[in-house]
Chains A and B, each alone.
Chain A
């Protein structure tokens, strides 16, 4: 009996030592040893992360994961998606269940400061907006007086509305409905005059209306929601890999490199393109990656514009315009630091 107990203790101790050893490895080593990236995405947000008919994860956030997998392994499919929801997302990252969280998560001060996580670059600039029927004859949110506004539960959404209407001196009535379906139905049936959510979300609500042209998205953006991937704190090598995988997508768009022309572009003499695609310098080695990491990302998922258009763009049912998510030289906010 005693011997058994001792053996059990020894086994437990061995397990814990093994576990500690596993943790002291960097995220990149762990990921490489595993042979797969584990990426936390949302349960089901069409356009960002949702299953297609074959149960394959599709969407903007999912493609960010694929880009990172392509950078690490040279294969965009070496990624396992773990479904996380609003309540479990940060914990899944903290406990090491996932390597990176790519889940429509707004980067904020307190999250970065207190949750033991670091945010990568903003991949999508979102903001809370208001959608109204055209028949209401309103051109600005400031003209909404005593309007009933439908929202999903969530403290920030209603807080932003309260803040906004306090600053403009208007009044509103909040109608909080639990499910997105109910919310939409209440809005279409006229129970509320306006519906408020992130603009990306409103675009999809408008897209599925019987006649989308009957509704207008008001110009005001009443909150800033920069959506960014997150990693565990204190692993700057891994954070660099995630950040530069995202920057590579943006830089490729700026340089006109696409999934289709990447092989041809790799032969160009342009020194910056050479650095990005791994022809000249071996920049990837500095991050512990293959020197062709940039090439692999573009070959695997395409550039930022391609990722956006495929999942959210005007040819999809969501029909989003690029808005602020355009390149800096076209008046947008996407600005990748130089790859050199």
Chain B
């Protein structure tokens, strides 16, 4: 254990020169270093100047698509005209405060849940009983005087968040269960676990979505349809679970088997050993891998466009096809989408590093 902690500390010392003299020698120490620094600095300046010019100096701030056609800069009117559509898709215009409130509440709840002090069973129950059902009611309506909005009209950013975050929230326990099944000593359970994981991992997400969207309804009795969004959500949960299972399995294998045996020797039940001894260590080790997967899934949900759901990137793409703006604001649309995806992906990355530090100190 002690070895593994010395190495990161040493690496950190190398990566972060502490004093000013070290900075100077790192960047300007030799003629070669100085040259690289100068070239990179000039490039950064040039890029910043071009970006500033595009975003502000040459940009069009009001007017229509014709003004944008003439200008070489960014086209802000496109973003302001299309913002609500890009964020909320086909959700009825007068009711769009609902997805907005849902989005803010969801992000707020996520922010609060990130603080280690509030972790506990109560938080889990709050999510399961209050937050998720509450958000669903807010979006779907039909009671409490809210007009009903069918899921076929949901779209944009709320849909992206729902598919990826709710998907991963359900996939995580399922994935852990699958990882335990795969490591089980009971052959039947192990074979089932391996079978499921390999089957799902051996098939691209697109085909699973297709199965859910195209094949499944044909197997249903006539007249019975399961909501398309629910089908896509379940497909994403199953797919993510298989990948999470393999990541968790890596963590499980890293915990010496002596710990499991010691737990059993103390008279603890299998589940007690797993939940109190093995999993806390295993999960801690796989945080970086899990977060990478989460970020990837946040972006992969864009694939749902092939089964006729419009997530955030797709609402941006379809906004670009509006004849008024076609071929005029392509860059603006994609830059906007990239900025939003980058923001949330970067937040997840920052939080992952925070978690790693947090666990390192508390278990030292």
Point out residues on A near B: beta carbons under 8 Å.
15-16, 19-20, 22-23, 38, 43-47, 50-57, 80-85, 87-88, 91-92, 94-97, 180-181, 184, 204, 207-208, 210, 316-318
Contacts and interface: CB of A to CB of B under 8 A. Distances in A.
Contacts of A55: 84-85, 88-93, 96
Q: Which 8 A-B pairs have the closest CB atoms?
A: A44-B318, A23-B223, A95-B217, A317-B323, A54-B93, A23-B222, A22-B223, A83-B308
B229 to A, nearest CB: 11
10 contacts: A50-B318, A55-B88, A55-B91, A55-B92, A55-B93, A80-B153, A83-B310, A91-B217, A204-B323, A316-B323
A8 B325 CA distance: 54
B262 interface: no
Contacts, number: 119
Contact of A95 (B82, B220, B318, B328): B220
A51 B152 contact: no
A87 B217 CA distance: 14
A27 to B, nearest CB: 11
Contacts of B85: 51-55
B225 interface: yes
Given A55-B88, A83-B152, A94-B218, A46 B321 contact: yes
Given A16-B221, A23-B223, A55-B84, A85 B326 contact: no
Interface residues of B, number: 46
Given A50-B322, A51-B89, A43 B217 contact: no
Interface string B142-168: 000000001011000000000000000
A46 B326 contact: yes
Given A53-B85, A55-B85, A82 B308 contact: yes
B224 A82 contact: no
A91 B218 contact: yes
A82 B211 CA distance: 19
B323 A43 contact: no
B326 A204 contact: yes
A288 B330 CA distance: 48
B210 interface: yes
A54 B305 contact: no
A317 B93 contact: no
Contacts of A22: 223
A75 to B, nearest CB: 16
Interface in B323-343: 323-324, 326-328, 330
A43 B305 contact: yes
